[in-house]
Amino acid sequence: MGQDWDKLLDFLEQAGRLKRLRRKGWVDRGVAEPESVADHSYRLALLALLAGLLDPGIDLARAVILALVHDLPEALAGDQTPFDRQLEAGVDPAQLFRSHPSYSPEAEAEKSARERAALRQMVAGLPDELRRLLSEAWEDYEAGATPEARLVRQLDKLETALQAVEYRAEQPEITIDSFLLGADAESVDPLARELLGAILRRAGQVRERVNQD
């Protein structure tokens, strides 16, 4: 075999931090017991699996790999949101969370550079083939240059929108508009638009239940 299991275990230990890293967007909104980054990546991988089966033009295995890897560097770099700088500057959260989420070009470049450096550190001790696989998958997702990357980037927004609707059903007071707006803006493929429609219908049902209560 000849594997350096200590280095592989080091990598897995670092990746395992995602199981304890709470997604900041939910923390900022006061969600009780918010999901971890690993929770999100797991369901995104399932979504990629389902979407890949429905779209014969998608490399199923590649899509699932991209979903699993897309947030991997956050184990070291931390989780960031498009609203971090405005919140730090004292902008009203209620206003922010009803607006479309987007990074400034400077913030996006800074985030990408930080995560790229974190990933490079995480995979440094891995076998060459695995290091290349993880690094290339993450770069592919970042660039959105392949059909699989474009699909998974859309599914990422849709999984988050679905989670937002589920949290809203549990906590009617939280504001989820930004997640729905982000998903609507990013979902361009027919399959993604169809899934978005289903999520928005569910959001409407949740809103009706909240109003009745």
Task: Spell out the alpha helix ranges (H) of 55-127.
Answer: 60-69, 74-77, 84-88, 93-96, 105-123
Residue 211 has pLDDT above 90, yes or no: no
CB 114 within 8 A of CB 40: no
Tens digit of pLDDT for each residue in 76-116?
999 999 999 999 999 999 899 999 999 999 999 999 999 99
Residue 1 has pLDDT above 60, yes or no: no
CB 126 within 8 A of CB 7: yes
In this prediction, what percent of the chain has a pLDDT beyond 90? Answer: 92
Distance of alpha carbon 17 from alpha carbon 25, whole angstroms: 18
Q: What average pLDDT does the chain have? A: 95
Q: Domain holding 181: CATH number?
A: 1.10.3210.10
Predicted structure pTM score: 0.94
How many domains does the structure of the chain reveal? 1
| Predicted pLDDT of residue 128 | 96
| Predicted pLDDT of residue 180 | 96
| Confidence band for 41, pLDDT divided at 50, 70 and 90 | very high
Distance of alpha carbon 83 from alpha carbon 101, whole angstroms: 7
* E-only strand ranges, the chain: none
> Which candidate, 39, 62, 40, places its Cα nearest to that of 51?
62
Distance separating the N- and C-terminal Cα atoms of the chain: 61
What is the extent of the structural domain holding 145? 5-212
